[in-house]
Chains A and B, each alone.
Chain A
Amino acid sequence: MINALRRNYPGPGGMFVLSFICHLVVFLVIAYWHILPQFHEDETPVTYVDMVTLPVASPQSGTPAPSQQESKAPAAPAPAPPAPAAPAMALPTKPAAKAPTAKAKAEQQKEAAEAKAFNERMAKMEQQAEDRRQAAALDALKKKGSSRTGMPGGKGTQAGSDYSSYLQSRLKDALKETMAMQAKAPQVMATITVSPDGYIDYHVEKPSGDPLFDDAVRRAVTLAGKTLVPPPNGAYFKRVFRFRPEGVGIK
């Protein structure tokens, strides 16, 4: 009677095939409709822009200098405009019957002198307006007392003062990438030295006591040094920086 219990029940083999077909259909639907999210790598290069440019001894330091070609570009004639007229095709000149008289010459010279004086006055006024604007901006920054921009207490006229801001910005960006810490509020004081050839060196004046943060500062300095522009005027740059998780300050 045991044999009576053993009926020929169909196995699940056919259902496995059905399941496989269903999965294939789902896969094709996903592929056809692009249901899965797609990621495209952004190839746009990162560009740093200094938002504040303080008046310094060397105005070009710390700011992207225009290339030689760019600076010369305005002077150079742009795509040659069509020649006004070839000598052969010249417009009929006015009859030079009347030669310039001495009176007319004097008038022309007088007009030229007036125009020159006017231009000089305008340039002077523009220069004064620009000086006033920069002075106002500097005062506003000093009043603001922000430690993030410029040099607290600095006059903004020393050579390399803008380089401090530049270096501070680079160190701050680098520290963001290498940040690691265990302590609650670690702080590292370090003297940063940049040689005229752009080589960066640092000496820890006061460690934080948190080995992770100390190492993060070390890596930040190394990272910042990879793309550093040398100090202006071929001089050594040396300054004490204060590294904290919130950012980098200049002492």
Chain B
Amino acid sequence: MGMLASTGLVVKLVLMLLLYFSVVSWGIIFYKLLQVYRANGASERFLEFFWKAKRFDAISSQLDRFEHSPLTVLFQEGYGELKRLQEKVEEKADPNIVSTDLGGVDNIARALRRATTSEITRLEKYLTFLATTGATAPFVGLFGTVWGIMTAFEQIGKSGSASLAVVAPGIAEALIATAIGLVAAIPAVMGYNHFQHKIKVLISEMDSFSTEFLNIVQRNFGR
């Protein structure tokens, strides 16, 4: 710890900034791990339940069991829009038919798209911080190192000796900023890439579910 204690004020500030980056990045990584893996598990269970169930109202009543799945939000939104259309059509002659001529399926598609966008936004929240940390932390660390080396050279100039015993400790103390910058950046970049992939999979699942939901609506309620 002597190395950290003997660094200058600017290097100390850089180290504190990097520590903040690291703490927040790891917080986001833990949070996203929990969120994404819960969403994956709940989505698998929800799809299994969805294809076994015969009626939409039965599925709607069981949604609380799969609260972490983004698909339940899509279903809730699509089913709600369908019910509203049904209520509107009931006022007319044939109560069991959703007229595509009036844009009923398009309404549901728009509702599903909106829900998908909302869920993507939720899933991708805080990922920008990981990207920022991954991109900037090494440079912040490098700044600390450059500053530390400048200070070390100034001290060497004052001491009047250029032996390795005088030069090496100052440079080693300065290099610690780059090391901590990399320690902060590497997990952030790895986490960002990992979660991007997982979220992409969830988005494709949501797109597939939307298409299937619209097909079912078209088959059973369309004219």
Which A residues are within 8 Å of any B CB, using their own CB? 1, 4-5, 7, 9, 12, 15-20, 22-23, 30-31, 36-39, 41-42, 177, 223
Q: Does B23 contact A (CB under 8 A)?
A: yes
Are A38's CB and B2's CB within 8 A? Answer: yes
- How far is A15 from B30 in the complex, measured between Cα atoms in Å? 6
Cβ contacts A to B, 7 pairs, < 8 Å:
A4-B76, A7-B73, A18-B27, A18-B30, A20-B27, A36-B4, A37-B3
Residues of chain A with a CB closer than 8 A to B172's CB: 37, 39
Annotate B109-124 by CB proximity to A: 1 below 8 A, 0 otherwise: 0010001001000100
Binds A, one of B90-98, B161-169, B206-214: B161-169
A-B contacts besides A5-B118, A12-B27, 5 pairs, CB < 8 Å? A5-B115, A9-B122, A19-B24, A23-B19, A38-B3
Are A41's CB and B126's CB within 8 A? Answer: no
- How far is A30 from B172 in the complex, measured between Cα atoms in Å? 17
Are B165's CB and A41's CB within 8 A? Answer: yes
Residues of chain A with a CB closer than 8 A to B34's CB: 15
- What's the A-B contact tally at a CB cutoff of 8 Å? 72
Residues of chain A with a CB closer than 8 A to B67's CB: 7
- How far is A38 from B6 in the complex, measured between Cα atoms in Å? 11
Residues of chain B with a CB closer than 8 A to A31's CB: 1
Residues of chain B with a CB closer than 8 A to A42's CB: 165
Q: From known contacts A5-B73, A41-B165, infer whether A16 and B3 are also in contact, taking CB-CB under 8 Å.
A: no
Find the A residue at minimum CB distance from B26.
A19
- How far is A12 from B34 in the complex, measured between Cα atoms in Å? 10
Q: From known contacts A5-B73, A23-B23, infer whether A15 and B28 are also in contact, taking CB-CB under 8 Å.
A: yes
Are B1's CB and A1's CB within 8 A? Answer: no
